[in-house]
Structure 1
Amino acid sequence: MDIDNAASEGPVTGNGVIDIEQSFLQQFSCMGTTDREELIQQLQKLLGSQLNYSTAAFFLDMNNWNLQAAVCAYFDCENPTPLPQMKLVADPFANENESLEPNTRFKKSWHISNSGNERWPVNCFAQCSDGYNLGGGRVPVPCLNPGEGFHLTVEMVGPPVPGIYQSKWRLCTSKGSYFGDPMWVIVTVVEEGAVALTNQLSHFNELGASLSANNSYNPFSPNQIHIGNNQDVAPPDGQRDSSMI
């Protein structure tokens, strides 16, 4: 439900639908707390006595304790409309950025598709819904037709402090409702120079790799004499092994 449009057009009445006034939305400007108990009380105050404690907690938790998103989700349930469907087809580069130096820029891609039966609405976007956003902002997504795919790419940057960082991304409608499969980014930020050192050690390991087990050639075998130029000749008759006769 588009609360902004409903508020600008005046109060909504009839069939038990709650009247929405402009002052209702203005109350968000003075609500900056992150305390969950306080958010539950604020949501109950905004929506009235018809919303009990457990239901308020449910809508807030479902929307990552974002008060405005919880209000939108509540009215969407009161006037339900089907959400778009999205499937994560592949995470083609899941391990490409597992080790980064601080402040390194990189791109993360996912292959997604419209798995529903309806065309995606306009103004959908992808955003970080949990964890570290890794410098990535909102990314608009096209209005995919059913069965159509798309490679979503987000430009990111590694944090300045070494450690392991997780970032959860979701698609979102213009009204603030998340939909589809979650998309993850997991990176390990290491000290400067550590990536180059790891690559050098890996190269040394390749140089010292053992010969293939399938290579059974033995230059010291009494049954074979190597004389160079890739030519192998049989030993003189007096030096033949009895097994060769």
Structure 2
Amino acid sequence: MDVDNGPSEGPVTGGIDIEQSLLQQFSCMGTTDKEELVQQLQKLLGSHLNYTTAAFFLDMNNWNLQAAICSYLDIESTNQLPSMALVSNPLANETESIEPNVGFQKTWHICNNGTETWPAGCYAQCSDGNKMGGNKVPVPCLQPGEGMHLSVNMMGPSLPGTYQSKWRLCTPKGAYFGDPMWAIVTVVEEGTIALTQQLSHFNELGAPPPSIPAHNPFVSQRSHLENNQDTVPPDGTDSSMW
């Protein structure tokens, strides 16, 4: 299972000594640029910390790097993230065709494959790619072994092309957990789908009719039946002369 904020080898291993080391590192930083602060927090806490989680802790602490580091160490380093498994989902290279600015719904079947009930306040959000108009979706507190169908209402982009949207489950504090979920669509020119359906219908109409043996009106009914049965008169004469 892909977990962005799980334990990993890096600067954060827990303990007061590490906090003091981190405080010494950021004490020389005087930047107020938010992008730079996010990068510094990721650098200090380890590459496992994704951008959204880093921005969340900084924003929660008024973009104070020291306070954000302390909050992370106090909260995330002592709590185990929930577990989620994707039960069914199209492969990343499978796409569906839609027309521009057409709404559609993407659904994934997920389950809690851990040993703890999910905390209240979890939600799903787009973590990478094109949101395609999708908003955050609240997720119920699934018990261990329990599953659900998670649906997101989306809108096809206005320009033709192939678009992908990566979605993740988040804890109430913004930490990603569980398997990634993908929505991949191909936007085609308006009217293309209807034209394709019409051409398919025309092909069906133009299919050759099933073969039906035709009856020759110039041959007697008896001769016609005998020819179909591949029989020959006992005297060997031509049946057409009967």
TM-score w.r.t. length of structure 1: 0.63
Alpha-carbon deviation of 1:203?
2.6
Structure 1: 5+ residue runs without aligned partners?
Answer: 1-13, 20-29, 45-52, 241-245
2:229 is matched with: 234
Q: Give the Cα separation in 1 of the matches to 2:76 and 2:138.
A: 27
Which of 124, 142, 145 aligns to 1:144? It is: 142
2:39 is matched with: 40
Alpha-carbon deviation of 1:67?
2.9
The alignment covers a number of residue pairs equal to 194
Question: Does the Cα contact within 8 Å between 1:93 and 1:109 map onto a contact in 2?
Answer: no
Q: Whose RCO is larger (CA < 8 A, sep 6+)?
A: 2
Aligned-partner SS, 1:146:
coil
Identity of aligned residues (%): 52
Q: Give the Cα separation in 1 of the matches to 2:170 and 2:132.
A: 18
- 1:42-77, Cα deviation, whole Å (9 max, x unpaired): x38xxxxxxxx4x456145x3458433585794268
Which of 104, 107, 112 aligns to 1:106? It is: 104
| Matched residue type, 2:200 | S
Q: Give the Cα separation in 1 of the matches to 2:45 and 2:16.
A: 22
Residue 129 in 1 paired to residue 124 in 2? no
Aligned-partner SS, 1:67:
helix
1:58 is matched with: 47
| Shift in CA distance, 233/165, structure 1 to aligned 2, threshold 3 Å | same
| Shift in CA distance, 208/83, structure 1 to aligned 2, threshold 3 Å | farther
Q: Give the Cα separation in 1 of the matches to 2:99 and 2:76.
A: 48
Higher mean C-alpha deviation, range 132-141 or range 92-101: 92-101
Structure 2: 5+ residue runs without aligned partners?
Answer: 1-14, 21-31, 59-67, 238-242
1:152-171 correspondence to structure 2 within 5 Å:
152-171=150-169
Q: Give the Cα separation in 1 of the matches to 2:91 and 2:45.
A: 39
Q: Give the Cα separation in 1 of the matches to 2:76 and 2:124.
A: 25
Give the alignment's Cα RMSD to 1 decimal: 4.2
